Amino acid sequence: MFESIGNDRLRSIRSSPNRVANSPTPPGMNELNSMNHKKSNPLYDIIRKAHEQNWCVTPYCTTCGSREYRNAIKELSGPLGGGLADALADIDLQEISLLPNWQDALLVAIMDLPISQQVDGVLEAWLPKMSDHVAFADLILYKIVHYMRKDNVMRNNWIERCIDIAINSRNFSLIESLLLVLRREAWNYRKLIAIAKEYSYSSAQMDRALRNSCKLRAMESV
């Protein structure tokens, strides 16, 4: 499903304040995490171990292929991927966002699911949870949903939900991601375009997204 995503296409989300980024874990946060876990999830344990053992969790790492981390994921996954799919579907979006290097670790885990329908099932499990987790919705939209087939039902459901969240939250990063994913199709969402245009008057970054993805100049009428 993800064979077409190379390093040139899977761009790193920029580390500006307007983009989702892997943030370092604040001092003492690991201890706080251990105290606050609501329930056990084997994927959390693997991500923590990866941090403690300094395992690479970089997607498409050309040096080591994230070998140690992916081996641990494979052991959890089992022969048909069911163990990993269940662990991913069961994650708490707030809890996982407190883990170190969670974004890269999560992406590798999703992309290592052996059956494309398992990806759809995981996204379906996350869909009702994502309203209060804009950064999570943005990450999955740009890094995973972006590269799914356009006729995939879950892809379209995720995009529609992200559009609702973006309009209500006016989140800069999510709006930009939607423009980059939808491209000319963004024209079908007038409220989204209107908010993007508001940002573009003072943001060259959003102006570029409108120009390059939607072929729309900031000063053009919506």
The yes-or-no verdict on residue 214 having pLDDT over 80 is no
| Dist. CA 218–CA 152, nearest whole Å | 31
Rg, C-alpha atoms of the chain: 18
Tens digits of per-residue pLDDT, 30-79?
444 443 445 689 999 999 999 999 999 999 999 999 999 999 999 999 98
Contact at 8 Å (CB) between 56 and 69?
Answer: yes
Tens digits of per-residue pLDDT, 103-118?
999 999 999 999 999 9
The yes-or-no verdict on residue 217 having pLDDT over 80 is no
pTM comes to 0.79
Contact at 8 Å (CB) between 119 and 158?
Answer: no
Contact at 8 Å (CB) between 142 and 181?
Answer: yes
The yes-or-no verdict on residue 80 having pLDDT over 50 is yes
Containing H/E element for 54?
Answer: none
Six-digit token string for 21: 């980024």
Model pLDDT, residue 25? 46
| Dist. CA 15–CA 23, nearest whole Å | 9
Six-digit token string for 87: 């662990």
For 218, how many CA atoms within 13 A lie in the half-sphere containing its CB?
15
- Average pLDDT for residues 126-133, to the nearest whole number? 93
- Rounding to the nearest 10 degrees, give the CA dihedral for residues 159, 180, 18, 195: -70
